[in-house]
Amino acid sequence: MNLSNRESPPDFGLKIISLTGARGYNLLFSGLTVDVAPGNFVALVGPNGSGKTTLLRMLAGLITPEAGEIERPPEVREQGPFYLGHESGLRPNETPLSHLKDWADLHHATSAGISAAIERVGLTERAMVPAHALSAGQKRRLCLARTLVAPRQLWLLDEPAAALDLHGQMLLCALIREHVAQGGICVAALHDPLDIEPDLTINLKDYQP
Ligand SMILES: Nc1ncnc2c1ncn2[C@@H]1O[C@H](COP(=O)(O)OP(=O)(O)OP(=O)(O)O)[C@@H](O)[C@H]1O
């Protein structure tokens, strides 16, 4: 799938219906009902421990809700979301080039755009450097390049600006803007606002049980 080749925007977004989230015996949020339209950028906010990561992982299908439902668009059900957590998931000895080749293979994507993706995130000079020798911000940029190699309709980003310098933050915002302009959905857990006006803000403080 390439969102940029889409003939018309998708007409089905993400529906969150009466969702309750818990970790262990700890109830985090309940009664969360939100309708996210295609092309929406959603800011997910709330204090430390309020359940932002938990909700993102639920939306990714990695954690089962205590109650409620999540309805995903057909493309997301078929291909899964793009999930960016706190950890890069990079193996110490893989380079940006080898990592993105593996990422393309794993996600049944073409490797034709890998060099362009590396250039877009500003890692051309570091393309052959093993991950253990990349800085935190460079690793984050490499994680963002995954979105260019294997496009996905739903992006779930956990503190995506962490470790990014000003240019990196501008790059992140540009990627999100382009994604939602093509009908994609982006839900991002944020402590500091990005330079993008959210279409919707979910504040988990409002859903504390
Ligand atoms: N694997 C786990 N097992 C048990 N409890 C967990 C687990 N992971 C998280 N928790 C608890 O769930 C609660 C919510 O955590 P979560 O990481 O979702 O919050 P958050 O809003 O993302 O926090 P932060 O802003 O600090 O990143 C916390 O109290 C945390 O201790």
Structure tokens at 109: 């994507």
pLDDT of 9 reads: 54
State the distance from the centre of ligand 1 to the C-alpha of 54, rounded, in angstroms: 6
Query: pLDDT tens digits, the chain, 209 residues: what are they?
Result: 445 445 555 668 999 999 999 998 999 999 999 999 999 999 999 999 999 999 999 999 999 999 999 999 999 999 999 999 999 999 999 999 999 999 999 999 999 999 999 999 999 999 999 999 999 999 999 999 999 999 999 999 999 999 999 999 999 999 999 999 999 999 999 999 999 999 999 999 999 98
CB 49 within 8 A of CB 204: no
From the CA of 159, give the closest atom in ligand 1: 27
Instruction: Give CA separation, 153 vs 61, 83, 123, in Å.
Output: 15, 11, 24
pLDDT of 7 reads: 53
- CA dihedral of 80, 40, 171, 126, whole degrees rounded to 10: 0
| Residue from 34, 13, 46, 82 nearest 190 by CA | 46
CA 179 from centre of chain: 11
Q: Is 49 near ligand 1, meaning CB less than 6 Å away?
A: yes
State the distance from the centre of ligand 1 to the C-alpha of 190, rounded, in angstroms: 15
What is the residue whose two structure tokens read 């109650």? 67
pTM confidence score: 0.94
pLDDT of 70 reads: 97
Q: Is 28 near ligand 1, meaning CB less than 6 Å away?
A: yes
Angle at 155 between CA 51 and CA 48, to 5 degrees: 20
Q: Domains in the chain, ordered, with CATH?
A: 9-81+154-209 (3.40.50.300), 88-151 (no CATH)
What is the complex's ipTM, to 2 decimals?
0.97
